[in-house]
Amino acid sequence: MSYNPYDDQENLHQEEPVQEQPVEEPRCDDAIHAEENPVKAESTASQPQESSVNPAPVRAKRAAPTYLSRRAAAISIAACMVVSCALGFAGGMLARGGEPVAADAASQGTSLEATQTALEVQNTGDTLTVAEIAAKVGNSVVEITTEQVAYSSWMQEFVATGAGSGVIVTADGYILTNNHVIEDAKTITVTLKDGSSYEAELVGTDPQTDVAVIKIDAMGLTPAALGDSDSLVVGELAVAVGNPLGQLGGTVTDGIISALDRKITIEGETMNLLQTNAAINPGNSGGGLFNGQGELIGIVNAKTSETGVEGLGFAIPINDVKDVMEQLMDQGYVSGRIDPGFTLLDITTQQEAAMYRVERIGVYVYSVDRGSDAANAGFESGDCIMALDGTEVTTEAEVEELLKNYNPGDQIVFSVQRGSTQGTITMTLTEQVPDTTGGFQQN
């Protein structure tokens, strides 16, 4: 147990004063052992070696010492420190010819330099408090609600509603969000922090990166400052702002950057994401992840929903979003994107294979879009895709990952099994561009 010797001054006179033996300064591990086993710690500290010729030292009796009060002792120590500093400074002045000089590493050691460096690193960027970040970015994050037509299992049509978040990126109403927040929406409504609501129009969307841009007819908005996600380090502050559960707009949660460059597969798309332990909930999608300077470093798009798992949220790095966002704002789509035009289905068990009446486990074509590259190549529902240009595949994610290596104009040879017959289908890829009705067409 440690204590302050000044707190025990009144007990000093009760014991006979003992002449202290000089010992070396213990190491950190010695200090740890000293608490656990004082005898052992004492033995590990280096002691002065006694001569074999001289007799063992004998404790010398001294007259009873005079003790100072705490105040007097403190004043004496302070006075000694002042005198020592003055003498040291004067000696340095004489040694240097009487001119003051800056201390260098040799004279002061490396501890001061290391401390100054640590302080400079800590103060770089003027990190804000969570409250300051919330105040800075609060007006830049919006609530998004959507309506879309859906069908029940009995094919009855009804209107389904959804909710998410978005981040204002220009003062004249451009808003960044996730593709999955507004996908297939018939109406999109944006609510600002002040409670005002606007009908939004879809500017463009990119399913591959899960990014979309919408726009409202408003001016004088507060856009978020875009940060640099490539400069992030694990452990630095991360603040998420969004609309969890679709009812709690402007909610702020904080945490850290838990990991960088996480490869996560979401609905068949393998994405490179930031990981954070800031609380993420349904409705946060499309909201902002901000750094310690209140800069937008990511667009929240996913969380792990497994039972018993907490603290696993993910966001698209803003550096991966910038070019996509600019192209969507400029032309409504991302150049060079391809879309074969089929929907795939993973069959992973024999039970599923029996249910779908197919022979093998693998990745199957579930449906083919009319007029698409897949339709033009001759794909049919029920085809099992076994390989792309000789590379075997068994899941939708593997197919999607390989397709990222191709560009408009390329040809792909698919190895396919249809029923009991195996063969190949050659597909020529075209660029995906939006049509006049807001959908997409092939060029």
pLDDT in tens, 246-263: 888 889 999 999 999 998
Catalytically annotated residues: 180, 210, 285
User: What was the pLDDT predicted at 342?
Assistant: 93
User: What was the pLDDT predicted at 421?
Assistant: 92
More confident residue, 134 or 245: 134
User: What was the pLDDT predicted at 196?
Assistant: 94
For range 43-61, the mean pLDDT: 37
pLDDT over 60 (residue 236): yes
Query: What is the C-alpha separation between 147 and 159, in angstroms, rounded?
Result: 6
- Give domain 342-442's CATH superfamily: PDZ domain (2.30.42.10)
Domain ranges of the chain: 5-44, 68-98, 126-335, 342-442
Alpha-carbon Rg for the chain in angstroms: 35
pLDDT over 90 (residue 363): yes
Among 370, 394, 350, smallest CA distance to 442 is for: 370
Query: What is the C-alpha separation between 270 and 302, in angstroms, rounded?
Result: 12
Number of H helices and number of E strands within the chain? 11, 20
User: What was the pLDDT predicted at 48?
Assistant: 40
Encode pLDDT of 280-303 as tens digits. Answer: 988 899 999 999 999 999 999 977
Q: How confident is the model at residue 78 (pLDDT cuts 50, 70, 90)?
A: low
Evaluate whether 223 touches 140 at the Cβ level (below 8 Å): yes
The model's pTM is 0.64
More confident residue, 17 or 232: 232
User: What was the pLDDT predicted at 322?
Assistant: 96
Evaluate whether 138 touches 167 at the Cβ level (below 8 Å): no
User: What was the pLDDT predicted at 344?
Assistant: 93
Residues sharing a CB contact under 8 Å with residue 56, sequence separation 6 or more, in sequence order: 50
Evaluate whether 238 touches 257 at the Cβ level (below 8 Å): yes
Distances in Å between the alpha carbon of 60 and those of 17, 56, 63, 419?
10, 12, 10, 105
∠ CA 84-89-93, rounded to 5°: 150
Query: What is the C-alpha separation between 139 and 301, in angstroms, rounded?
Result: 20
pLDDT over 60 (residue 56): no
CATH says 126-335 is which class? mainly beta
Query: What is the overall mean pLDDT for the chain?
Result: 77
Reading the block at residue 309, the tokens are 């798992």
